[in-house]
Amino acid sequence: MYEVPVDAVGAAQYVEWRVIRESFGGVAYEQSAAFAMVPTVTSLSRQSLLASNFPRSFEKPWTTGKEKSEFVSCVTGWGVAKERVAYLCGYDDELPWGCDYAAYVILDVDEHVRGQ
């Protein structure tokens, strides 16, 4: 099973989701949505999702320097060997052979919409 969280800053970003889902090919998936009632900070939300932790638990919640190590620590805490976990950023990284848990961080929407 795969989870593909997409941070959309507005309804206009639904177009990006349509482009992403076209790349799924014949992979079956379910689509659902959750909405925040207050503005969120993408990097903080992403860290919480990947580390399976609350923002208050991070030493420096406004930086993403430990995002990879927090993700790996979370998954290895479930008993998964470190060699079977991958944190990848961008389109050029390739999923290692034998990987069971991976986080792909694609910043297109952030860079395009927010000018980051």
Rounded CA-CA distance 69/103 in Å is: 12
Could you tell me if residue 46 is left (phi over 0), alpha (psi between -120 and 50 degrees) or otherwise beta?
alpha
| Residue 84: HSE in the Cβ half-sphere, 13 Å Cα cutoff | 11
pLDDT at residue 94 in the model: 82
- Residues of the chain predicted below pLDDT 70: 1-20, 23-24, 33-41, 108-116
The answer to whether 109 and 8 are in contact (CB under 8 A) is yes
pLDDT at residue 88 in the model: 87
* pTM check: above 0.75: no
Rounded CA-CA distance 86/93 in Å is: 10
Domain ranges of the chain: 38-113
